[in-house]
Amino acid sequence: MKKRKFGLLISSVVATGAILAACGTDEEKTDSKDTSNNNTGSETNTGSDDDFSIAMVTDVGGVDDKSFNQSAWEGVQQFGADNGLTKGDGGFDYLQSQSDADYNTNLNNLLRRDFDLVFGVGYMMADAIGEIANDNPNAMLALIDSADVTASNIANILFKEQEGAFLAGVVAASMSESGKIGFVGGVDIPVINRFHAGFVEGAEAVNPDIEIQVNYTGAFDDASKGKIAANSMFSSGVDIIFHAAGGTGNGVFSEAKERKAKDKDANVWVIGVDADQYAEGQVDDSTNITLTSMLKGVNSAVIDIATKAKNGEFPGGTTTVYGLAEDGVGLADSRGAIPQEVMDKVEEYKEKIASGEITVSEEKPKQ
């Protein structure tokens, strides 16, 4: 298929419509300013009836991490279905990274296969995206969860994870019987720090005396580390753990399910992340340890950016942000695990955050 070329926007893109949303730091917002002075001389993509192909490269968590990468892949597949595409060259596809050494290779592979738009999934892919963008000035690239690399052919995508995590913190502090809750993070990077910051702030808004244990495992793809972290927390009296650790978080679920299977009265809960992780908490036909999940609309963001690109409106050189005000982050249905009075409290905080009455910190608290 003939490679499409893009036109540059004059100003930063502000996300609209019913997609999940969030905003980055002031520094990130500065990065989102138009960079059209770096015009590569590309022709404007006016949009045509030709098929518009998209693909993505996962980070090390894998496409089936039941979290961040999987949500992005679901967005790619949905865009394909909506536009009559099939999996493979000329349609939609993905390549999975086993390590960070695979990022450049996988991105180059997809560009050689002539995909019109290629997504790099995750903050850890920023350097690779920057290099590939520089070497391929006519390529359209999208980077999820980072605005650290700015180029006229990169569309940066950010979320206000801290806003959704605030609501998760409200739930955890309201529901904890022990007064002890936990946060398990993956790698200690800004995007995970935003989850951490919001969770702590939301919990302390409800209960200033809440005890919050924190463990950064250093990995997004090691369930054993998540299990060890959860074991330590539950053993010390923590009864609710919120994880933002990708595939590592699967170990948090495993530990909670094992404890519940051994003792049906065990008070252990997990709050999932990025996608609705209710299925991950299923112990048996009548028992589930997923309290709720903090949703992050990666799938909707992928569809939004791909649709803009297909229509000749590729937001290269800008950062698009998705937050509570745009329905970009939120909480999944608790299936009755959370009482109505707590949900009412969540709704009150949600409205205050979306309106700007409450501004949630992006910086993780000092320990």
- The enclosing H or E element of 85 equals none
CATH 3.40.50.2300 residue ranges of the chain are 26-159+298-326, 161-296+330-355
Q: What whole-number distance in Å separates Cα of residue 282 and Cα of residue 277?
A: 10
pLDDT tens by residue, 192-249: 999 999 999 999 999 999 999 999 999 999 999 999 999 999 999 999 999 999 999 9
Question: Which of 185, 206, 165 is CA-nearest to residue 324?
Answer: 165
Backbone angle region of 335, left / alpha / beta, with phi > 0 → left and psi within -120 to 50 → alpha: left
- Alpha helix stretches (DSSP H) within 236-315: 249-262, 298-310
Q: Report d(CA 41, CA 43) in Å as an integer.
A: 7
pLDDT number for residue 51: 86
Q: Which element (helix H / strand E) includes 90?
A: none
- Asked if CATH classification 3.40.50.2030 holds for the domain at 26-159+298-326, the reply, yes or no, is no
- The secondary structure of residue 65, as a DSSP letter, is S
Q: Strand (E) positions, 145-251?
A: 154-159, 180-185, 211-216, 240-244
Q: What is the pLDDT of residue 327?
A: 86
Helix axes 161-175, 340-355, angle to 10 degrees: 150
- Start-to-end Cα distance in the chain: 53
Q: Domain 161-296+330-355, what architecture?
A: 3-Layer(aba) Sandwich (3.40)
Q: What is the pLDDT of residues 281-325, one digit of tens each?
A: 999 999 999 999 999 999 999 999 999 999 999 999 999 999 999
CB burial class (10 A; 0-12, 13-18, 19+) of residue 74? middle
Please give the pLDDT value at position 66.
83
d(CA 243, CA 280): 13
Task: Give the pLDDT of residue 48.
Answer: 42
Residue 356 confidence (pLDDT): 96
Which segments in the chain show pLDDT lower than 70? 1-50, 367
